[in-house]
Amino acid sequence: MSVKGRPKLLALATLVAALQLSGTDFPGRLRLVDTDPFTTPVEYPEVALCSLDRSAFVRARPDRTGRFNLTGMVPSRHAFVLSFPGHFVSVAIGGRLMALPEFELKREDRGPVDIAVSLKTSELSVEVRGAPRQNGQVVAPLAPADSALTSIILAI
């Protein structure tokens, strides 16, 4: 390649790199199901996506109707981070259902992001036997095998 062609090639490579790093905006909606009269309103919880391949974390706060906008989303593997306990009922981007807990956001993906989370709760009773006691307390970490949980709160 001649020296004259190198600046054009460098400019093209820079443009391609910039396009790969530039983000896309995704409008979305958060729906809370299985609620009760004491449920926190939908505009208080935060919706966030964490890139598992890059150092990127995108957050949004829904309005009173549950609508939000995730700005600067880049193609990579992502995981949802919701600021409240619940169970994902469904997550879709542009009508395509996402498998959880992590999913691949592709360059051709476009919004909207539709998230439905059940707020139904349950109680779990655990009896620990034969564990060494330390200062009269027993510590028993619990890890449910449910990839659709948004988070878990343990009250011991």
pLDDT digits (tens, 9 = 90+) for 21-80: 457 888 999 999 988 888 888 888 888 888 888 888 889 999 999 999 988 888 888 888
* Token pair recorded at residue 80: 């949802």
State the residue for tokens 């034969």: 130
Task: Catalogue all structural domains in the chain, each as residue range(s) with its CATH number.
Answer: 24-123+144-151 (2.60.40.1120)
> Amino acid identity of 104?
E
Chain segment 92-125, per-residue pLDDT in tens: 998 989 888 788 888 888 879 999 998 887 777 7
Which percentage of the chain shows pLDDT scores above 70? 78
State the residue for tokens 């020296």: 3
* Cβ proximity of 48 and 59 under 8 Å: yes
What residues form DSSP beta bridges with 47?
60, 82
State the residue for tokens 């360059």: 107
Predicted pLDDT at 66: 93
Phi and psi at 31, nearest 5°, equal -115, 125
Q: Are strands 76-82 and 47-51 parallel, antiparallel or unpaired?
A: antiparallel
Predicted pLDDT at 154: 42
Q: How far apart are CA 6 and CA 2, in angstroms?
A: 7
* Cβ proximity of 60 and 70 under 8 Å: yes
Handedness of CA 95, 97, 103, 108 (dihedral sign): negative
